[in-house]
């Protein structure tokens, strides 16, 4: 039986990856390591938590010696590393947390693998990264695997740094690593600080829907299960030392996305047309706001036969249905300091 370490498995994307691996690979033992920050939530994994091939370990990847001890104890055959601080706005207000979790945390895992793995045959260290490392595009063009790095927020700079360290461990020590850089994910279990679940939550509760700047920034959206599928393929079939870009070829201007979401919400909540759109409020722009991200995913499509399965309108509809059907989940993650934090940060333009 192979033992695979998945870090950050209690978060948004990690929980989809853990669920997929636990269900699809009964011959793997899946160890989910997460320190349960505000974004980590074991309720995301209720349906699989009692499966015999699943184990949760609460631990912080910034603890280097602990990582080595866990590598010794579990004798991991592979690592899929997702644990990170992931929200750009928080990286602007609290950059140091991103440096510790994303850079120090990654190097601790690399070091544990380097020191504890006796030989690297059949081992694999897979690092999950973001398209934001490539910087910001103008009106045209795409990010390719060989696009020069140009990170511009503390979040993207910390992820770029972790990518460089992963490549350095491959080049210097021969550690068998692979990296993927993905565009914006959406779907069930995403913490309502990111645009789509935040807007759904606010519309449902008749609160303002904050659109940064003029709403003209563009993101390339991918349904989270399609990302989990790509991660599965890359973990099993991706080439060592390679990088794969993952994206939906699905670019949306923020304001157009929010308008579409408002239409869906009006329909689902049986409100008259235009009710949700009345909540749209233009607020002060994000500092250093990247204009446009767009991924060229030809390599993974060509080499690993991956492609996105869902059209955006369908995925968004499915996502809205999930949040409306899971009110209890939303209530639990929006208690405590949540509302104070999110009400406070908006200044109308």
> What amino acid positions are annotated as catalytic residues?
131-132, 155
Note whether 86 binds ligand DAU by CB under 6 A. Answer: yes
Note whether 106 binds ligand DAU by CB under 6 A. Answer: no
Note whether 197 binds ligand NAD by CB under 6 A. Answer: no
Q: Which is nearer to ligand DAU, 62 or 184 (CB)?
A: 184
For the bound state, the minimum distance from the C-beta of residue 210 to ligand DAU, rounded and expressed in Å, comes to: 4
- Among positions 111-130, residues that touch ligand NAD (CB under 6 A) are 128, 130
From ligand DAU, ligand NAD, none, interface partner of 13 (C-beta below 5 to 8 A by class): ligand NAD
Q: Which helix (H) or strand (E) holds 71?
A: helix 64-74
Q: How many CA atoms lie within 13 A of 234 on its CB side?
A: 34
The answer for 288, left when phi > 0, alpha when psi is -120 to 50, beta otherwise, is: left
Among 115, 6, 113, smallest CA distance to 54 is for 6
- Residue 88: both structure tokens together: 């750009």
- Among positions 144-183, residues that touch ligand DAU (CB under 6 A) are 183
Note whether 229 binds ligand DAU by CB under 6 A. Answer: no
* Residues 39/15, Cβ–Cβ less than 8 Å: no
Question: Which position's Cβ is nearest ligand NAD?
Answer: 11
Note whether 198 binds ligand DAU by CB under 6 A. Answer: yes
Q: Which is nearer to ligand NAD, 41 or 276 (CB)?
A: 41
Label the pairing between strands 177-182 and 209-212: unpaired
Q: Report the DSSP beta bridge partners of residue 245.
A: 181
Residue 98 buriedness (CB in 10 A; 0-12 / 13-18 / 19+): buried
Contacting positions for ligand NAD (CB under 6 A) = 8, 10-14, 34-37, 39-40, 60-62, 82-86, 101, 105, 128, 130, 159, 182, 184-185, 191
């Amino acid at each position: 039986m192979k033992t695979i370490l998945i870090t950050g498995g209690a978060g948004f994307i990690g929980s989809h990856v853990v669920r997929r691996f636990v269900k699809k690979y009964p011959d793997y033992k899946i160890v989910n390591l997460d320190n349960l920050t505000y974004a980590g939530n074991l309720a995301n994994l209720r349906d699989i938590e009692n499966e015999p091939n699943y184990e949760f370990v609460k631990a912080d990847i910034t603890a280097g010696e602990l990582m080595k001890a866990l590598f010794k104890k579990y004798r991991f055959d592979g690592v899929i590393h997702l644990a990170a601080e992931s929200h750009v706005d928080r990286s602007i207000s609290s950059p140091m947390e991103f440096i510790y979790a994303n850079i120090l945390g990654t190097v601790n895992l690399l070091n544990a693998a380097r020191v504890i793995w006796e030989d690297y045959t059949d081992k694999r260290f897979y690092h999950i990264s973001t398209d934001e490392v490539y910087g910001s595009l103008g009106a045209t063009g795409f990010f390719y695997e060989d696009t020069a790095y140009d990170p511009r927020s503390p979040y993207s700079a910390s992820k770029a740094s972790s990518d460089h360290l992963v490549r350095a461990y491959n080049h210097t020590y021969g550690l068998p690593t692979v990296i993927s850089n993905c565009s914006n994910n959406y779907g069930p279990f995403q913490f309502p600080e990111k645009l789509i679940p935040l807007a759904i939550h606010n519309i449902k509760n008749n609160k303002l829907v904050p659109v940064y700047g003029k709403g003209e920034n563009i993101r390339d959206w991918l349904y989270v299960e399609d990302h989990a599928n790509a991660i599965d393929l890359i973990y099993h079939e991706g080439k060592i030392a390679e990088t794969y870009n993952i994206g939906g070829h699905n670019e949306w201007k923020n304001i157009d996305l929010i308008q579409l979401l408002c239409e869906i919400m009006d329909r689902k909540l049986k409100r008259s047309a235009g009710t949700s759109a009345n909540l749209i409020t233009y607020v002060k722009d994000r500092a250093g706001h990247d204009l446009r991200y767009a991924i060229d995913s030809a390599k993974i499509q060509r080499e690993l036969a991956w492609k996105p399965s869902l059209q955006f309108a369908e995925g968004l509809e499915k996502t809205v249905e999930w949040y409306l059907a899971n009110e209890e989940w939303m209530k639990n993650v929006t208690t405590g300091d949540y509302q104070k934090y999110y009400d406070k940060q908006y200044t109308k333009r």
